[in-house]
Structure 1
Amino acid sequence: MKQFIPALLLLFFLFSCSQDIPMVNLGIDDIYSVERMKKIILHPEFPGKCKWSMLDVNGQDSVISEARDYIFVAEKPGKYSLKLNIIDAENSVEHFFQIVVWEEQVVYSRYITKVFEYRPAPGQFVNTIPQYETGDTEETMINKAQESISGKNDVMVSLGGYGGYITFGFDHTVVNVAGKKDFKIKGNAFYAAANPNPEAPEEGGSCEPGIVMVSLDRNNNGIPDDEWYELAGSEYHKPETVHNYEITYYKPASDKKPTPKPNSPISDSTYVRWTDNRGGEGYIARTVYHRQDYFPKWLNVGELNFEGTIIANNAVDESGNGSYYVQYTYPWGYVDNHPNEYEDKISFDIGWAVDKDGNAMHLPGVDFIRVYTAVNQQCGWLGETSTELARAEDLHIQEPAVIIPNP
């Protein structure tokens, strides 16, 4: 009995201490190793408010995030020292850890490696770039789009009218490098060689703007099913820009009777009907220059729905009689908006990202990029405005040096 009582007291003491100092795993290791441009998703198990800091060589820290989870990705190899503070009323924690980043074993590609989605809106180049063939499915058309714009390929893909989109990615996370543009996307925009209006700006011609969206693979499953963020271009905050715009296109009946426009190359002015969530309605006209179906033939649906931001139309009939339309550029932030030789104007900064409410977002990098046609506009005999793009490039990946052997 005398030996039993001290044993009970010891158990009571241990149990009491366990209540004061909960033995819970923090969930953050002391050291991590990862290739550059690859993510580490850090999730602490302790409750409380989190504050993540990066330490410099002198041990001085700067706060990099106050979110519950922190996603680390680095552009360059090296040793990165970090600190996590968890502020809790009962148990505050300060944890130091290190992330060792090394050069990738297989050199990353600067170019697109994967197309995940291709869903154009109806348009005059749909079913031709890329070319639809009988029996093609959504999967085979995605593969054709991938063949067109992956690697160094410069074959155009058309997104059709407003809302039509394509989603692609690289073989690594595109890092958000502070103070620099992060990637560029090529289109087929050009400035007009002539303009009937001598007072018109020079930066106009065929400019068919596309909005850029980005997403970070937070759930790490390799597919674009996480939250999307818009890269807010020059028009994002303009009063004429409409957010949360929605449009529905209706597939024409196979026996639809055309309504041609007299003395015009427009062969059917009421070809593809559309309505939107603002009470608007209209048509994508068909022209004699493009006689194929404009509605994507591989999609077995009667309607196509798209939503997003829509910016003001940029086309002006400078002739006054419908013979010469000029599509003027926007200052920055859109695909197929400036000629490709203006690299800074076709390049994009992940730092422009905003959430669905327009709040600025800090993303360490992105895994998926989406482009969609930004205007709903008909330009007479030129047809609808439709964004085209060729390829994209990560500006932080250098081309491998070409070694010329000695003769």
Structure 2
Amino acid sequence: MKKIFAILLSALALGGCENDGIPYVSLGLDDLYKVARMQTVDLKPAFTGESYRWTVKTASGADSLLSEEKDYIFLMQYPGTYDVTFQIFDPVNPIVHRMTFYVVEEEVEYSPYISTVYEYCPAPGQFVNAMPEYREGDTAETMRQKAEEAIAGKMQSGVSLGAYGGYITFGFDHTVVNVPGEYDIRIDGNSFNSAAHPGVDGGSSEPGIIMLMFDENQNGKPDDKWYEIDKNPWYTDEAATYGYEITYHRPAPDHVPTPGEGNDSALTDMTYIKWEDNRGQTDYVYKNKFHDQDYYPKWIDADEMTFRGTLLPKNAVDVSGNGSYYLQYMFKYGAYADNYPNEAKDENGNYYNGFDIGWAVDPETREPVHLPGVDFIRVYTALNQYCGWIGETSTEIFMARDMHIYVRPDQHQ
């Protein structure tokens, strides 16, 4: 994923050699670098001090603060020449080191769309093993590949994440840059408004929570810390349940179905996949007559699956009063996947299914964090809810794109 090609163009003045009999130790930073836009350079100075400061020259000649941490990852959206200064403040050994970064256009044009699915782990659900389709002998790796084929580029055949907690992890062929004050990424699902309720923000809305990761250790793997998109913390604090955990159990081979009756006659098994959560609740993922395949992921060997995260409140209302018609309302104040129809925009012209990396928070402390960019994205179903014959609420993902990469007219959906 990391096509980093930082190239040393000249030697560091403080080299690992001797000059006039005086030994010098390298600071570990070069003078000149060449790197493609939206790719990173991991800068790790060898010396330490009491404090640090990274700055870059602006067009006016002023110094703009980049970071006050010891290590810094250089990342820029646009080509150009960037003069960066690194300072170590120390009473014994203060250091000032200046570098020039030549940021160039990429050799192979970046795609605005998903390039890689890293993991596909749905919770049980009525579209699991069908979207994408499981075939005998499939493994976690082959199902990952099928999920990638379904949503990478402009494929848009979609994947289902199943009931609460089911997730998918994906990324692009470049780091998505966090542009302050702008929407950075858009994720499409299959949400739609109810034709029977014009003007109402409701219909089929199955929100998924969005998690972000920056490749801090620069190894190209999603093994750093995850952060959660939280557009309006005041809203989430009021509505959500933090630290939610749920465990699903594979049905026993000799399981006997419990069919529904009356208003639940479309349900062929109301004791199908048992679950319990850490709030003392227990129930089942029901099976319905419209989807007769196994709902528990068949490529998973374990007989239990546990998921943890933030739980959003139920958004479905039985407007019929008899279980024949549910309206799933869209959350207005958050930023979730598969919440609003793909082309829906707010009063400012921003896509409801778009989001700003600047909305990221630490999921443990709920404090805002600054990410220079994003390399990995995870979406998981955020509701634990069943809507009669409609089935469980399950987030679906069809496409994602970097909002900063130009899409040619022939690339539009």
Q: What is the TM-score with the length of structure 2 in the denominator?
A: 0.88
Q: Which residue of 2 aligns with 1:218?
A: 216
What CA distance in whole angstroms lies between the structure 1 residues aligned with 2:33 and 2:68?
Answer: 20
- Separation in 2 of the partners of 1:55 and 1:277? 52
Deviation at 1:234, TM superposition (A): 4.0
Q: Could you tell me how far apart the structure 2 residues matched to 1:314 and 1:362 are?
A: 31
Does the C-alpha gap of structure 1 residues 321 and 234 become closer, same or farther in structure 2, counting only changes over 3 Å? farther
Which segments of structure 1 move beyond 6 Å, counting only runs of 4 or more? none
Query: In structure 2, what is the equivalent of residue 13 of structure 1?
Result: none
Q: Quote the residue 1:238 is aligned against.
A: 237
Shift, 1:237, TM fit = 3.0
Distance (Å, rounded) in 1 between the aligned partners of 2:78 and 2:232: 31
Q: What is the one-letter code of the residue matched to 1:60?
A: A
Local SS of the residue matching 1:345:
coil
Q: Which residue is equivalent to 1:61?
A: 63
Say whether residues 1:371 and 2:373 are aligned partners.
Answer: no
Name 2:9's counterpart in structure 1.
none
Contact 1:40 1:71 in 2 (8 A): yes
Aligned to 2:149: 147
Q: Distance in 1 between matches of 2:87 and 2:380?
A: 41
1:348 aligns with 2:342: no
Following the alignment from structure 1 to structure 2, what is the Cα–Cα distance between the partners of residues 393 and 182?
A: 9
**Which range moved further: 85-94 or 211-220?**
85-94
Match of 2:170 in 1: 168
1:397 and 2:405 matched: yes
For 1:68 and 1:322, the matched residues in 2 are separated by: 59
Is it true that 1:43 corresponds to 2:58 in the alignment? no
- Matched residue SS, 2:384: coil
- Deviations, residues 186-223 of structure 1 (Å, cap 9, x unaligned): 1000010114xx9xx71000000001111111222211
Following superposition, the deviation at residue 401 of structure 1 comes to 6.3
Q: Which letter does structure 2 place at the counterpart of 1:380?
A: G
Match of 1:204 among 185, 202, 207: 202
Q: Residue 144 of structure 1: CA displacement?
A: 0.6
Q: In the TM superposition, what is the alpha-carbon distance from 1:402 to its structure 2 partner?
A: 5.8
Query: 2 CA distance for matches of 1:133 and 1:180?
Result: 42
CA distance in 1, matches of 2:32, 2:317: 59
Q: Compare 81-90 and 208-217 and name the one that shifted more.
A: 81-90
Are residues 1:251 and 2:250 paired? yes
Q: 1:362 to 1:260 in 2, by over 3 A?
A: same
Counterpart secondary structure, 2:97: strand
Tell me how far apart the structure 2 counterparts of residues 130 and 165 of structure 1 sit (CA, whole Å). 14
TM norm structure 1: 0.90
What is the deviation of 1:238?
A: 2.7
Rounded Cα–Cα distance in structure 1 between residues aligned with 2:245 and 2:34: 45
**Could you tell me the percent identity over the aligned residues?**
53
* Deviations 1:153-190 (CA, angstroms, capped at 9, x unpaired): 11010000000000111111111111111111110000
Return the alpha-carbon distance in structure 2 between the equivalents of residues 397 and 91 of structure 1.
Answer: 43
Equivalent AA in structure 2 for residue 241 of structure 1 = A
Equivalent runs, 1:179-190 vs 2, <5 Å: 179-190=181-192
Which of the two has higher C-alpha Rg?
1
Give the conservation status (yes or no) of the 8 Å contact 1:158–1:388. yes
Q: CA deviation at 1:27?
A: 1.7
Query: What 5-or-longer segments of structure 1 have no aligned partner?
Result: 1-17
Once the two structures are TM-superposed, the CA of residue 307 in structure 1 deviates from its matched residue by 0.8
Q: Structure 1: which amino acid aligns with 2:37?
A: R
C-alpha distance in 2, partners of 1:358/1:74?
27
Q: Describe the SS at the equivalent of 2:237.
A: coil
Mind listing any 5+ residue stretches in structure 2 that lack a counterpart? 1-20, 346-350
The residue type equivalent to 2:352 in the other structure is K
Q: Per-residue deviation at 1:25? A: 2.3
Range with bigger deviation, 78-87 or 375-384: 78-87
Match of 2:6 in 1: none
Q: What root-mean-square deviation, in Å, do the aligned CA atoms of Structure 1 and Structure 2 show?
A: 1.9
Shift of residue 345 of structure 1? 0.6
Count of aligned positions: 380
- Please state whether the residue corresponding to 2:85 is helix, strand or coil: strand
Contact 1:211 1:371 in 2 (8 A): yes
